[in-house]
Structure 1
Amino acid sequence: MNPIVEAVAFLLGFLGWIMVGVALPNRYWRVSTVDGNVITTSTIYENLWMSCATDSTGVHNCRDFPSLLALSGYIQASRALMIASIVMGFFGIIATLVGMQCSKVAGDNYVLKGRIAGIGGVFFLLQGLCTMIAVSWYAFNITQEFFNPVYPGTKYEIGQGLYIGWSSATLALCGGCCLLCSCKLESTNEKVPYPYQPPTQLTTYSGPVMSQGPPSQYVRNAYV
């Protein structure tokens, strides 16, 4: 594998994993503004764990969601996917560090290191897919409720936490693809094909050796 590609892929995956940790506790996954006079104008914002409100004076109050089972199904699924994304990213970082050429874990066995780095790329891809599904599913429900004219509840808009999640998923997917695409033999010295030697045909001849001179000239009178 190319060490430069390894370093770039590891950096992308690591940044994606850090941004997942930033997006998960971010409070601004969806934001709604309740207009009124100067006293009643407030901003309501939520994430996967709590709901907060801020009035025009800057005072904000937050409360955690009281029950997990009382939440909507997409919120529960988004929670599970984001937690799985953090776990997958952690395993991807460990596998990539072990599989890099500068690592001393596997010695000089670069084929084994390449396979371990490829496993790290798979973990980064899983991290990006989990994050992308969770964030996109959450955003889909926001837009569905916003454009529904008969929806009776509060309508929200997409918050900054979702944009951080999309950026994280993109970085993780790019890092995983770089590792998988570069996880191959760089030169023919790492894998030498078995040399083909055609069998040597030995023939024995036990008869008299014929001379290599010019052919004899026979005439009709030589035969009896």
Structure 2
Amino acid sequence: MKKRLIQISGFLLSTLGWLFVSCTMAMDSWKESQLGGLGGSYVIKVAWYWSNLWKDCFVDSTAVTNCRDYGVLWSVTPYIQGVRGLLMGGLAFGFCGVILAFVGMECTYIGGSQRTNNKVLFAAAVFHFLGGALDTAGYCLYINRIAITAYNPKLDPTALRYSLGTPIFLGLVGSFLIIGGSILYAIAVMKSLFPEKSKFYNSRPYTNQQSRSRTLYAGYYGQSRQSQSRLSRHSMKSGVSKSSQVSTISQIEDRKISERDAFV
């Protein structure tokens, strides 16, 4: 029961994490900036700039949005291509991990034997962990690019300095949830796939020592009993021989005494 609860918890965490990551790829305002908004005139002019993985947009104070979609793949900024590739790779690993998790979990009854299910679920944990690591690397690459631009002292003061948007934080939370779910998957099958070696190695010397003690016990007391029997036999023989010698000596002495009395 405890194992199933751990598996279900890992499945819920990883599924929620992949949902967060998938949503961020379609969300706007990965990075955003604002110009204007200060008083000093009757008409306050404000402009917002934001962009995501697919387009750059501009919104003026009249709520008119103008967007420029990115062109072909090789004309996009290199770091945008890298972030796309990392997130797409993470989603691919996550898709494989979800299928393997469905097959390997105990509550689905799809897999074969218990050991096969554990192996499949461990493979799902590996796929989820790799997917979460790729997603985390993609978001960190995007954050690093924005931070370099925002804190560059040589940047033109009139240039736009972007800040992080909501999808970045949501994606990082989703990546951490995916990694946490993969860890729960691994914990659920770790004991069955990799039993403690100490118990395995300690059990063999224990049995050998026990059997050896038995053999030593039996051999020691068997030999002692045999030696005691031999000693008893030898003592019996020696007792018989001593008694026969005593009887012969007494007979000789009786003869001598009788001959002396006859002579007298």
Partner of 1:154: 160
Gaps of 5+ in 1: 188-192, 202-208
Gap change, CA 1:3 and 1:210, over 3 Å in 2 = closer
Counterpart amino acid of residue 76 in structure 1: Q
Q: Deviations over 1:185-210 (max 9, x none)?
A: 459xxxxx899786999xxxxxxx99
Gap change, CA 1:210 and 1:46, over 3 Å in 2 = closer
- TM-score, with structure 1 as normaliser: 0.82
* Structure with bigger gyration radius: 2
Gap change, CA 1:210 and 1:92, over 3 Å in 2 = closer
Does 2:168 correspond to 1:167?
A: no
Aligned pairs for 1:1-224 (under 5 A) are 2-35=3-36, 38=43, 40-107=45-112, 109-152=113-156, 153-185=159-191, 212=229, 214=232, 215-216=235-236, 217-218=238-239, 219=242
Q: In 2, distance between residues paired with 1:46 and 1:164? A: 16
Q: Secondary structure at 2:56's aligned position in 1?
A: strand
Gap change, CA 1:32 and 1:210, over 3 Å in 2 = closer
Q: In 1, distance between residues paired with 2:81 and 2:55? A: 13
Shift of 1:63: 1.9
Q: Does structure 2 retain, via aligned residues, the 8 Å contact 1:2–1:186?
A: no
Shift of 1:39: 5.2
Gaps of 5+ in 2: 194-199, 216-225, 246-264
Q: Does structure 2 retain, via aligned residues, the 8 Å contact 1:39–1:55?
A: no
Moved more, 54-63 or 21-30: 54-63
Q: In 2, distance between residues paired with 1:134 and 1:73? A: 12
Gap change, CA 1:137 and 1:211, over 3 Å in 2 = closer
Gap change, CA 1:185 and 1:110, over 3 Å in 2 = farther
Q: Deviations over 1:145-170 (max 9, x none)?
A: 10112223421000001011101101
Q: Secondary structure at 2:177's aligned position in 1?
A: helix
Q: Deviations over 1:122-160 (max 9, x none)?
A: 111111101100001100110111011222342100000
Q: In 1, distance between residues paired with 2:171 and 2:228? A: 90
Report the RMSD for the aligned CA atoms in angstroms.
3.0
The structure with the largest helix share of the pair is 2
Shift of 1:179: 0.8
Q: Secondary structure at 1:84's aligned position in 2?
A: helix
Counterpart amino acid of residue 139 in structure 1: I
Shift of 1:182: 2.0
Shift of 1:96: 0.5
Q: Secondary structure at 1:31's aligned position in 2?
A: strand
Q: Does structure 1 retain, via aligned residues, the 8 Å contact 2:118–2:192?
A: no
Count the aligned residue pairs: 210
Q: In 2, distance between residues paired with 1:136 and 1:81? A: 11
Shift of 1:211: 9.6
